[in-house]
Structure 1
Amino acid sequence: MSDRLAAMLPGWGIDIKGAGPLYHRLRLVLEKAILSGKLKEGDVLYSERDLAEHLRVSRVTVRKAIDHLVQDGFLVCRRGSGTFVGGSAVHADQPPLCANSLTGNISWRGSDTKVECIERSTSHPAPEEMMTLGLSSDSHVVRITCLRSSVGQPLAIERTCISSEFLPHARTVTSSICNTLADANFRPVRAIQRTFASNIEDPDASLLGVAIGTAGLLTKRVAYLASGRAIEFTRSLFRGDAGGFVSKLTFLEN
Structure 2
Amino acid sequence: MTIHRVNDLFGPSDALKKKGIPLYIQVKNAIQTAIAEERLGNGDVLPPERDLAKYLDVSRVTIRKAIDELVKEDVLTQRQGAGTFVSERVEQPLNHLRSFTEVMRDRGKETTAKWLDRSLGVPHDDERHALQLSPEEEVVRFYRLRYVDGKPMALELATVPSHYLDNPFAIEGSLYEILEAQGRRPVRAFQRIRAITLDDNRAQLLDISEQAAVLYIERTGVDKEGTPVEFTRSWFPGDSYDFVAEIHDTH
- Higher CA-based Rg: 2
Give the superposition deviation at 1:151. Answer: 4.4
Counterpart position of 1:181: 179
Aligned 1:162-241 pairs, distance under 5 A: 162-241=160-239
Aligned 1:37-56 pairs, distance under 5 A: none
Give the superposition deviation at 1:217. Answer: 0.5
2:128 corresponds, among 127, 130, 134, to 130
Query: TM-score, structure 1 length as denominator?
Result: 0.52
SS at match of 2:200: coil
Give the superposition deviation at 1:149. Answer: 2.3
Distance 1:107 1:182, change over 3 A: closer
Distance (whole Å) between structure 1 residues aligned to residue 108 and residue 204 of structure 2: 22
Distance (whole Å) between structure 1 residues aligned to residue 177 and residue 95 of structure 2: 17
SS at match of 1:139: coil
1:189-244 per-position Cα deviation (integer Å, ceiling 9, x unaligned): 211222111111132112111222321101111110122111011111011232x2
Is 2:104–2:110's contact at 8 Å kept on the other side of the alignment? yes
CA RMSD after TM alignment: 3.0
Distance 1:176 1:150, change over 3 A: closer
SS at match of 2:239: coil
The amino acid of 1:231's aligned partner reads: V
Is 2:142–2:159's contact at 8 Å kept on the other side of the alignment? yes
SS at match of 1:165: helix
Distance 1:196 1:151, change over 3 A: same
Give the superposition deviation at 1:247. Answer: 7.7
Counterpart position of 1:116: 113
Structure 2 gaps of 5+ residues are 1-93, 247-251
Give the superposition deviation at 1:154. Answer: 1.3
Distance (whole Å) between structure 1 residues aligned to residue 244 and residue 174 of structure 2: 15
Distance (whole Å) between structure 2 residues aligned to residue 223 and residue 160 of structure 1: 11
Aligned 1:57-76 pairs, distance under 5 A: none
1:87-123 per-position Cα deviation (integer Å, ceiling 9, x unaligned): xxxxxxxxx9542x43423349x88252304131111
The amino acid of 2:233's aligned partner reads: R
The count of residues paired between Structure 1 and Structure 2 equals 152
Greater fraction of residues in helix: 2
Query: TM-score, structure 2 length as denominator?
Result: 0.53
Counterpart position of 1:157: 155
Bigger relative contact order, structure 1 or 2, given CA contacts below 8 A and separation 6+? Answer: 1
The amino acid of 2:212's aligned partner reads: T
Distance (whole Å) between structure 1 residues aligned to residue 119 and residue 112 of structure 2: 18
Distance (whole Å) between structure 1 residues aligned to residue 209 and residue 218 of structure 2: 23
1:106 aligns with 2:103: yes
Percent identity over the alignment?
A: 29
Distance 1:196 1:164, change over 3 A: same
Distance (whole Å) between structure 2 residues aligned to residue 112 and residue 132 of structure 1: 31
Give the superposition deviation at 1:126. Answer: 1.2
Give the superposition deviation at 1:175. Answer: 3.0
